[in-house]
């Protein structure tokens, strides 16, 4: 059994088409997969068809970006969501992304960059969800985008514009309203302070926590697992696959359970 409950296709910031992601997953021995594109579900039907053909389980899913006082870009995964209900929610999230992208582009122009929103949209290619990495590339950043982000695109930097909708609590409500299960993605990727992670989980009361995740240390994994056990939450796992040559997330089966437990798949509500 290999459980992988977060992966990305060209519908958001992944490198492969949805069916290709499933093919790579099957090749790597994944038995249960979720395609979790950022604020988009357009890839799920093709992924489901490929999964059926290849004999692996595909959980219909999404990864919603949201705001929280501890993290300007917190991610909540929704599993077993109804795609029809989720569609208009994705539309709104994508519209919010375009509005924010336009404001960031205007700030970058003020800083002397010669780019337009159309350039950034072109950079997003097939992606439904335009994001800051597309804007950075449209502004001329190449290779490691880190330095460009640090100077212009992170909170407090010259061209940063915060996301405004949804809040983390709203994202959870939207996912549940679409019949889904809400799981806080990779908490220690977005937040480093254990106390803040704990406050976040205790106040949001999601249905699960993405506990097993490549950058999570043994100590962080044990902390999240303890919270899952105490609060009755599902402990999920992923390697956050973004494609074969992605800088950080290029391999299925890359997370470590540290022998602490076994990843779980949320039950269909
Ligand atoms: P957005 O959806 O527009 O908020 O952009 C979020 C994406 O920006 C993340 O998924 C990362 O890929 C990227 N990102 C965020 N912070 C950084 C950073 N400091 N350096 C490089 N990329 C970053
Ligand atoms: Mn994520």
On average, the pLDDT of the chain sits at 97
CA of 236 to the centre of ligand 2 (A): 13
Q: What is the mean pLDDT of residues 237-263?
A: 97
- Confidence at residue 186, expressed as pLDDT on a 0 to 100 scale: 98
Encode pLDDT of 23-71 as tens digits.
999 999 999 999 999 999 999 999 999 999 999 999 999 999 999 999 9
Residue 247: pLDDT band (50, 70, 90) is confident
Residue 18: pLDDT band (50, 70, 90) is very high
Q: Which ligand is nearest to the CA of 74?
A: 2
- Confidence at residue 118, expressed as pLDDT on a 0 to 100 scale: 96
**Phi, psi for 33 (deg, rounded to 5):** -125, 145
Encode pLDDT of 152-183 as tens digits.
999 999 999 999 999 999 999 999 999 999 99
Ligand 1 closest atom vs CA 145: 21
Q: 86, 3, 4, 1: which is closest to 44 by C-alpha? A: 86
Write the CA distances from 102 to 68, 130, 164, 261, integer angstroms: 22, 10, 14, 45
Rounded CA-CA distance 48/146 in Å is 34
Going along the chain from its start, the domains and CATH numbers come out as 3-90+169-237 (3.20.20.140), 99-153 (no CATH)
| Six-digit token string for 223 | 């902390």
CA of 204 to the centre of ligand 2 (A): 17
Whether 65 is in the pocket of ligand 1, judged by its Cβ within 6 Å, is yes
The sign one gets for the Cα dihedral 144, 150, 155, 160 is: negative
The sign one gets for the Cα dihedral 193, 196, 201, 204 is: negative
DSSP 3-state of 163: coil
The residue among 247 and 235 whose pLDDT is bigger is: 235
Encode pLDDT of 125-142 as tens digits.
988 899 999 999 999 999
In sequence order, the 6+-apart residues with CB closer than 8 A to the CB of 254 are 214, 239
- Direct distance between the N- and C-terminal alpha carbons of the chain, in angstroms, rounded to an integer: 22
CA of 231 to the centre of ligand 1 (A): 30
């Amino acid at each position: 059994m290999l459980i992988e409950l977060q992966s990305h296709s060209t519908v958001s910031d992944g490198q492969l088409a949805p069916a290709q992601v499933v093919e790579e997953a099957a090749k790597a021995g994944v038995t249960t997969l979720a395609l979790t594109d950022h604020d988009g579900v357009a890839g799920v039907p093709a992924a489901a068809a490929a999964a059926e053909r290849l004999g692996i389980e595909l959980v219909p899913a999404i990864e919603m970006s949201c705001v929280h006082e501890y993290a300007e870009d917190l991610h909540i995964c929704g599993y077993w969501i109804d795609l029809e209900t989720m569609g208009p929610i994705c539309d709104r999230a994508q519209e919010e992304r375009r509005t924010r992208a336009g404001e960031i582009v205007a700030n970058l122009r003020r800083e002397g960059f010669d780019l337009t929103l159309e350039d950034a949209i072109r950079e997003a290619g097939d992606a439904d969800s335009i994001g800051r990495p597309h804007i950075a590339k449209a502004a001329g950043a190449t290779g490691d985008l880190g330095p460009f982000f640090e100077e212009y695109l992170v909170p407090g930097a010259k061209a940063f514009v915060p996301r405004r909708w949804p809040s983390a609590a709203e994202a959870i409500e939207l996912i549940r309203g679409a019949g889904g299960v809400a799981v806080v993605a990779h908490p220690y990727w977005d937040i480093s302070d254990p106390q803040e992670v704990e406050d976040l989980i205790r106040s949001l009361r999601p249905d699960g926590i993405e506990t097993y995740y490549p950058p999570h240390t043994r100590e962080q994994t044990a902390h999240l697992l303890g919270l899952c056990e105490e609060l009755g939450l599902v402990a999920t796992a992923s390697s956050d696959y973004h494609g074969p040559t992605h800088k950080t997330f290029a391999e299925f089966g890359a997370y470590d359970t540290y022998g602490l437990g076994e990843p779980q798949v949320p039950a269909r509500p």
